[in-house]
Structure 1
Amino acid sequence: MPGGGFVKLPDGSVVVALTLPRPFGEDGQVRMLVHAANRARALTRLRNLGLRAVYLRGNALPPTPDEVTAVLHHPDGLLWRCAPDLADELWHPIRALLPGA
């Protein structure tokens, strides 16, 4: 179920949500949330962390209101968790997924 989408916030910034394969050849997928000034900058933030083949095509799976709230309340503005969502799993900071982030 790879895919993603975005939501434009009243202040002009965006929250981008992407469902991606787990990095480093691990099995499964992750749902990543990025808060940035615009979509291009959100994708650049992920690419700068080593996720080079990250693209947003369309808006099929935009972030839910709960996802938007989670990323806006995190100081880094970049979160992830396993996909599909597990009911008891919390959001993790990006450094828990990407070594050296």
Structure 2
Amino acid sequence: MSAGGFSKLPNGSVVVALTLPSPSPTGGSVRVIVHAVNRARALTRLRNLGLRAVYLRGNAEPPTPDEISAVLYHPDGLIWRTARDADTELWHPIRALVPSSVRG
């Protein structure tokens, strides 16, 4: 289960933000931001990376304006950082979180 939300942009695309359990052995959680044509496609992008149990129910934690800007300027349109260090940590490309064996 994940907490998150979305924002619809003026061009019709969406930015989805999810707080997920970290796949690392140290635990914690990560904030993942995805830019896509629609919400379903954003979740599909994450599921294709091996994050199978990703769902968006409601809009309790929509992306902040800073998160929207960060993902729009990233070439992949898919970024993450640890949730606990959100104020000081830089955004990372998704390939730094998901093992390459999952990405194919």
Structure 1 gaps, min length 5: none
Structure 2 gaps, min length 5: none
Look up the match of 2:52.
52
Q: Please provide the CA RMSD for this pair.
A: 1.2
Look up the match of 1:15.
15
| Offset, 1:85 | 3.5
Aligned-pair identity (%): 74
Q: How does 1:18-97 map to 2 (within 5 A)?
A: 18-23=18-23, 25-97=25-97
Deviations 1:56-84 (A, max 9, x none): 00000000000000000000000000013
| Offset, 1:26 | 4.1
Where 1:54 maps in the other structure, the secondary structure is: coil
Distance 2:72 2:42 in 1: 13
Change (3 A) 1:50 1:26: farther
- TM normalised by structure 2 equals 0.91
Aligned length: 100
More displaced 10-residue stretch of structure 1: 23-32 or 57-66: 23-32
- TM normalised by structure 1 equals 0.94
Distance 2:83 2:76 in 1: 21
